[in-house]
Structure 1
Amino acid sequence: MKLYALLASALIGVASISPSFAADYKSEYKVSTVVPAPFPWGLAADKWIELVRERSDGRINMKAYPGTQLVAGEQTKEFTAVRKGAIDMSVSSTINWSPQIPEMNIFALPFLIPDYKAMDALTGGPVGEEIFEIVRSKGVEPLAWAENGFRELTNSKREVRSPADLEGMKIRVVGSPLFNDTFTAFGANPAQMSWADAKPALTTGAVDGQENPLTIFTIAKMHLVGQKYVTTWGYVADPLIFAVSHRVWNDFTPEDQEIIRQAAIDAGAYGIEVARKGLTEGDDSLYKEIEGLGVTVTHLTDEERQKFVDASRGVYEKWTEIVGPDLVKKAEESVANR
């Protein structure tokens, strides 16, 4: 009887050990990002890594690989690499994944998203849920949203208040046909290139301007590469998604999946906070900081902004068909009801 009691006790002890500790995990999980800290994008990724390490008691170790170095800098190839398991995890822009997931172009429809409340209504509502379902169906587990921010225009030539001011100006844009169509509609000459190639091109004058969140302007010191004019127009937003390849995700225990997901949610909230710092009605310190660099910051009036809306309406209608009219309608309703 004593022997049976000892065996039973041993079995109970084994059963009580958390399956998390029994899992055979990688020594390191690679996390792909485009930019590192101190950019908000990189800060969000680092916070995710930090929280997962803490909450798993060091059992799950992740490392950020910025510059999309895991895909040789080819930003638009990142989703395919995550789906195939060549990349374990990522904090990724919807823009960079849009070539493989057309529905993600919803966030880049020109002038769909007028403010932060509208952005939150999309990512936190039915549109965000549908995007996550699509990503999940393609072999990648989406966990949470973060934010790169509204993409504003900078250039080295002149103040831009109307599409006529962009006429013939060479503007670096991301590798998405939608961005090419939008800037062509404005009369500009769009040049698609990765961020790694953009700064050298601006330095040499090969391109005149670019569009990006203003946090990038100060951290990357864009005023030193000739970017003397900024136009705030909020023409598109750039949400970020925390994601894990299903080939990796399915190896985690349910307990650890919850740790990783909640850490992403918390890191995403932090990322959104730092991405918006200095750019809200209650805090415009980033605009003032940029002006302090000798840069002209132009805030479009409603009438001026409408000229760009009108110029890009054909692009909006064309890409509504590509994104999906039902999803666009859902997005428009979410924005209207924000």
Structure 2
Amino acid sequence: MKKIISIIICVLMFTTVLSGCTKSEGKNTGANTSDSEKEPMTIKLAHVVNEKDGFHIAAMKFKELVEEKTEGKVKIELYPNATLGDERTLLKGMQMGTVDMGIITNGPVANFVEEIAVFELPFLFSSPEEAYKVLDGSVGKELLGKLENVNLKGLAYAERGFRNLTNSKKPVNSAADVEGLKIRVMENPVYIDTFKSLEANAVPMAWTEALTALQQGTIDGQENPVNVIHSFKLHETQKYLSMTRHTYAPAILVMSKKKFEELPTDVQGIFEESAQRAAEYERKINAENEAKQLEELKASGMEIVEPDLESFKKAVEPVYEKYKDKYGEYIEKINEDLK
């Protein structure tokens, strides 16, 4: 009897050990499967304009490049049309780590890094090529680096482009014609002072609010590049477009510093390279599209004026006088780069 009991105990012990080994092997197999099927990292990229705009073109290109170079391990989700907030809200969200990244017009960025507003000075650049040389060079990189001091990571400069004046009241043929017009400008001191020097009633407000104000007629006009005027169908509220090209406005592909630092080192490099390529792609598309967009605006009933630019340059000289102490160092560096 004792012998039988001993045999039964041995059989039970063997069965328990065998069962444990099987479970252990199953766990290991499951872990390996989990590693190979790991969910891709998702990055949310937001901007405030519509899907026809240059910002969205840059965003789509960035998405394509990152997903290709990471072999799908990183997915970029796009949020256009201010679905995650206006530009100031997006920047604050990036600082706090609640927004991953965005494409933001340079003007609002200057509220976080003051020196970057040097690019907003009127008639600083005479051509896109001059702007690209500075932005992609040492001055541009130095100013992008300053974003890290406010918990942001600047990746590259896309563009908003050369800004032009529209209004619903009258043709603007010279600086004198701007006097008294109520013009929406970005929430940026340099833009406000530029239009005050033209004796306009400068009204700083977010773009999302400006669209409503234009429709309601509470402001007379605004200033933006041709691609924005076209994509937002501003001919419906604005009769006159003056090709002032008074300011070249960069836009920045910018990330939450916290989110950027969470990326593996190789992915950080992919993000930086892809941002630069996306920015250059958007610039190229903007240049190709401008003539066609102007023709379409004209066909839609918009009157396009080539104003006396010398009168504008003369009128905004006080802006340089006001900001020479604040931005003088960078103005010298920019002029040096352009030699």
TM over 0.5: yes
Structure 1, residues 182-214: CA drift from partner, whole Å, max 9, x if none?
A: 111101111111111112211121111110111
1:45 maps to 2:48: no
1:332 to 319, 326, 335: 335
Of 315, 321, 328, which aligns to 1:317? Answer: 321
Work out whether 1:256 is the aligned partner of 2:270: no
1:21-36 aligned within 5 A: 27-36=41-50
d(CA) in 1 for partners of 2:230, 2:261: 40
Which one of the candidate residues 227, 237, 254 is aligned to 2:248?
Answer: 237
Q: Secondary structure at the match of 1:277?
A: helix
- The residue that corresponds to 2:312 in the other structure is 308
| Corresponding position: 1:155 with 2:167 | yes
User: In the TM superposition, what whole-angstrom CA distance separates every residue of 1:144-186 from its partner, at most 9, and x where no partner exists?
Assistant: 2211111110111111122221111111111112211111110
Which residue in the other structure is 2:78 paired with? 64
The Cα offsets for residues 193-238 of structure 1, whole Å up to 9 and x where unpaired, read as: 111111221112111111011111122111112x111111111111
Q: Which letter does structure 2 place at the counterpart of 1:264?
A: A
Q: Residue 78 of structure 1 contacts residue 96 of structure 1 at CA under 8 Å; is this kept in 2?
A: no
Secondary structure at 1:233 match in 2: strand
Structure 2: distance between partners of 1:68 and 1:218: 18
The one of 214, 225, 230 aligned to 2:226: 214
CA deviation map 1:241-297 (0-9, x unaligned): 222222111222122112222221221111111222244xxxx33322222222111
- The one-letter amino acid of 2:271's match is I
Following TM superposition, the consecutive aligned residue runs of length 4 or more in structure 1 with deviations greater than 4 angstroms are 24-27
> Secondary structure at 2:104's aligned position in 1?
strand
1:115–1:234: 8 Å Cα contact kept in structure 2?
no
Equivalent position of 2:191 in the other structure = 179
What does residue 8 of structure 1 align with?
none
Name the aligned partner's letter for residue 156 of structure 1. Answer: S
Would you say the 8 A contact 1:142–1:243 is kept in 2?
A: yes
Specify whether residues 25 and 174 from structure 1 end up closer, same or farther in structure 2 by C-alpha distance, changes over 3 A only: farther
The alignment status of 1:294 with 2:301, answered yes or no, reads yes
Tell me how far apart the structure 2 counterparts of residues 117 and 293 of structure 1 sit (CA, whole Å). Answer: 30
Cα distance in 1 for partners of 2:145, 2:71 equals 31
Query: Under a length normalisation based on structure 1, what TM-score does the superposition of the two structures give?
Result: 0.84
Q: C-alpha distance in 1, partners of 2:235/2:216?
A: 14
Q: Does 1:196 align with 2:208?
A: yes
Number of residues paired by the alignment?
306
> Normalising by the residue count of structure 2, what TM-score does the alignment of the two structures yield?
0.84
Q: What's the CA shift for 1:133?
A: 2.0
Aligned to 2:258: 247
Q: Secondary structure at the match of 1:288?
A: helix
Aligned-partner Cα distance in 1 for 2:287–2:75:
29
CA contact (8 A) 2:40 2:72 kept: no
Q: Matches of 1:55 and 1:125 in 2, distance apart?
A: 25
User: Structure 2: which amino acid aligns with 1:308?
Assistant: F
Q: Let me know the Cα RMSD of the aligned residues.
A: 2.2
Is residue 78–residue 97 contact of structure 1 (8 Å, CA) maintained in 2? no
Residue of structure 1 equivalent to 2:278: 267
3-state SS of paired residue (1:250):
helix
- Structure 1 counterpart of 2:157, from 139, 145, 148: 145
The alpha carbon displacement at 1:98 in A equals 0.5
Residues 90-129 of structure 1 aligned to structure 2 (within 5 Å)? 90-129=102-141
Call closer, same or farther: CA 1:140–1:25 in 2, change over 3 Å. farther
2:93 is the alignment partner of 1:81: yes
Q: Aligned letter for 1:52?
A: V
Letter in 2 for 1:203: Q
Structure 1 runs not aligned, ≥5 long: 1-16
User: 3-state DSSP class of the match of 2:246?
Assistant: coil
1:318 Cα shift? 1.2
CA drift of 1:27 comes to 4.4
**Partners of 1:217 and 1:187 in 2: CA distance:** 23
Amino acid at match of 1:313: E
Larger % of helix: which? 2
Which whole-Å CA distance do the structure 1 matches of 2:329 and 2:120 have between them? 16
Please give the alpha-carbon distance, in whole angstroms, between the structure 1 residues aligned to 2:52 and 2:142: 31
How far has the Cα of 1:76 moved from its partner?
Answer: 2.7
Contact conserved, 1:36 with 1:43, CA < 8 A, in 2? no
Residue of structure 1 in register with 2:17 after alignment: none
Q: Deviations over 1:288-322 (max 9, x none)?
A: 2222222111123xxx2121111111112212333
Aligned to 2:12: none
Instruction: Provide the C-alpha distance between the structure 2 equivalents of 1:35 and 1:144, rounded to a whole number of angstroms.
Output: 19
